[in-house]
Structure 1
Amino acid sequence: MSDSDLSSRTALVTGATSGIGLETARQLAERGATVLLHGRTPEEARAAADHLVATTGIDATQLCSFAADFTRLDEVESLANRVVTEHPRLDVLVNNAALAAPERHTVTADGNEIAFQVNFLAHYLLTCLLEPALTSDPGGRVVNVSSSLHRTASISWADPNRARRYSRLAAYAQSQLALTVFAADPRVTAVSVHPGVCDTALLPLYAHEGVTPAEGAASVVRLCDPTVEIVNGAYYDRAERVEPAPAATEDRTVRRLSKLADLLVGRTA
């Protein structure tokens, strides 16, 4: 893995208060990057930044805390507006925040199934709104932290909220397939990555044991490094580029998902 200096880079990491997100923020900052840590609440984001400063040699000036509850799309909009205002040049966006779909079918105040909104729709909206800040220079990129479970999924186009037939595993897998498909959207320079099965809050969806969040984060951070060449729209299983599920790169699916997402987040052409 490259250990190149990232002191000229600014990266936003969503879901940076625990697990892979916190470790991704730590590893980026330890290599010199300015890291915008996103948490669900201001208190959680601030606590994560304080923890990193207290337990590492990271300078507090490298860390900026931001908050938005991804179950509320208005908060996602506010987050994007603040980032664009305060950091008009953003080199990397790591779309990492995720939750396991609950046992019972749950819909957000915006009317979307909760895993589909938090894991995909919020990141779709955030990425679109951050377009003015995301650099188009070589090395600028979006990294979607996806999952191998996307291979088991299908997008329920007629019922994306899965109101008629709900299963938590199917709902979670659908959100990960959508995030993987989004990396192939030609409007963004992006990749998606399965960081391996890690010992995080999502572990029960996969197995009984996993690698450390730090090991998973290393696969994410590698793709944030501008010296690591990426293939736009590609899917990586840890450090290796592999083919995603066939639907993930179909032009028709990419266009159809974009239309659906625009509708669900209230964006108009």
Structure 2
Amino acid sequence: MPSTLSGRTVLVTGATSGIGYDTARQLAERGATVLLHGRTAEEAQAAVDRLIATAGIDGRLLRPLAADFIRLEEVENLAHAVVREHPYLDVLVNNAALAAPERHTLTADGNEIAFQVNFLAHYLLTNLLSAALTTSPGGRVVNVSSSLHRTASIQWNDPQRVRRYSRLAAYAQSQLALTVFASDPRVTAVSVHPGVCETGLRPLYGIDGVSAAEGAHHVVRLCDPATEIVNGAYYDRSERVAPAAAATDDRTVKRLNKLADLLVGHTA
């Protein structure tokens, strides 16, 4: 039986390592054309080469793309490059993430680094790709979130956490924002906690994790059109569960969009 992912085009951010890399591998193994995003062109090409050499992936199914999410201008350039080459995009997997650093750090765009890389960059990218994702029925977005979103609050008056910073709170805020964003009605989106996995983010959880491949399995399942989804749904691995109350609150969704539009507006 042919895979339901065969012939589909999927962009995976943060695809050079961890869950993103294994998501790209599993998607390509099932016949999808995968656009692999990396921070640099060299890292993205190295991931493609590794998939061809070690996983036996057909190189015709892989396309390397680069953008450093600490610079919103590069996110915008990435989106334009995707639209030029792939005016119809089936799935966007918003996976790229970093653990907030010990010291409060702002990007050149003036945003707390975890908030920008984990949420604002994906907000901008998704909006710039919305036409490609909605060209035909079935386009969807999968936000790779975290169970830590439940511990978070969005500091509306200080989203950059200049006055009060902790790395765990900053990371959790970025994941709550990404989870709230899944309820945005402009595209069909869901968010998923893929489990605690053995990646660079694992130390934030303080427990042992499963393999990145196991976490990726839960992401890939949501990319498959055979899996019916509802906008704003949240999954803990393979089980649909209720997210934090803020994630489905209409006023919070609108407030977050207004804040994000303000913070990325100079490049949008």
Normalising by the residue count of structure 1, what TM-score does the alignment of the two structures yield? Answer: 0.97
Shift, 1:138, TM fit: 3.7
Note the 1:31-42 alignment, pairs <5 A: 31-42=30-41
Corresponding position: 1:205 with 2:204: yes
CA offsets, 1:58-87, max 9 Å, x none? 110100000000000000000000000011
| Secondary structure at 2:134 match in 1 | coil
In structure 2, what is the Cα distance between the partners aligned to 1:223 and 1:3?
18
Query: Any conservation in 2 of the 1:262–1:268 contact (CA below 8 Å)?
Result: no
Query: Any conservation in 2 of the 1:101–1:115 contact (CA below 8 Å)?
Result: yes
Query: Any conservation in 1 of the 2:192–2:235 contact (CA below 8 Å)?
Result: yes
CA offsets, 1:159-211, max 9 Å, x none? 00000000000000000000000000111100000000000000000123100
CA offsets, 1:90-122, max 9 Å, x none? 000000000000000000000000000000000
Corresponding position: 1:157 with 2:150: no
Note the 1:148-187 alignment, pairs <5 A: 148-187=147-186
Note the 1:112-127 alignment, pairs <5 A: 112-127=111-126
| Secondary structure at 1:132 match in 2 | helix
Deviates more, 1:200-209 or 1:76-85: 200-209
Query: Any conservation in 1 of the 2:133–2:187 contact (CA below 8 Å)?
Result: no
- State percent identity of aligned pairs: 79
Q: 2:181 corresponds to which letter in structure 1?
A: F
Runs of 5+ consecutive residues of structure 1 not aligned to the other structure: none
| 1:10 corresponds to | 9
Q: 1:132 corresponds to which letter in structure 2?
A: A
| 2:83 corresponds to | 84
Distance 1:3 1:256, change over 3 A: farther
| 2:257 corresponds to | 258
Deviates more, 1:153-162 or 1:3-12: 3-12
Query: Could you say what the CA RMSD is over the residues aligned between the two structures, in angstroms?
Result: 1.4
Query: Any conservation in 2 of the 1:138–1:226 contact (CA below 8 Å)?
Result: no
| Secondary structure at 1:142 match in 2 | strand
| Secondary structure at 1:231 match in 2 | coil
Shift, 1:267, TM fit: 5.9
| 1:134 corresponds to | 133
Query: Any conservation in 2 of the 1:92–1:142 contact (CA below 8 Å)?
Result: yes
Distance 1:3 1:160, change over 3 A: farther
Q: 1:88 corresponds to which letter in structure 2?
A: P
Corresponding position: 1:246 with 2:232: no
Q: 1:183 corresponds to which letter in structure 2?
A: A
Note the 1:46-125 alignment, pairs <5 A: 46-125=45-124
In structure 2, what is the Cα distance between the partners aligned to 1:235 and 1:188?
15
Query: Any conservation in 1 of the 2:94–2:144 contact (CA below 8 Å)?
Result: yes
Q: 1:111 corresponds to which letter in structure 2?
A: G
Distance 1:35 1:268, change over 3 A: closer
Shift, 1:266, TM fit: 1.1
Q: 1:190 corresponds to which letter in structure 2?
A: A
| Secondary structure at 1:133 match in 2 | helix
Shift, 1:268, TM fit: 9.4
Query: Any conservation in 2 of the 1:4–1:225 contact (CA below 8 Å)?
Result: no
| 2:220 corresponds to | 221
Query: Any conservation in 2 of the 1:139–1:225 contact (CA below 8 Å)?
Result: no
In structure 1, what is the Cα distance between the partners aligned to 2:134 and 2:59?
24
Q: 1:178 corresponds to which letter in structure 2?
A: A
Aligned residue pairs, count: 268
In structure 2, what is the Cα distance between the partners aligned to 1:131 and 1:182?
13
Query: Any conservation in 1 of the 2:197–2:209 contact (CA below 8 Å)?
Result: yes
| 1:20 corresponds to | 19
Shift, 1:137, TM fit: 3.5
Shift, 1:6, TM fit: 1.3
Q: 2:103 corresponds to which letter in structure 1?
A: R
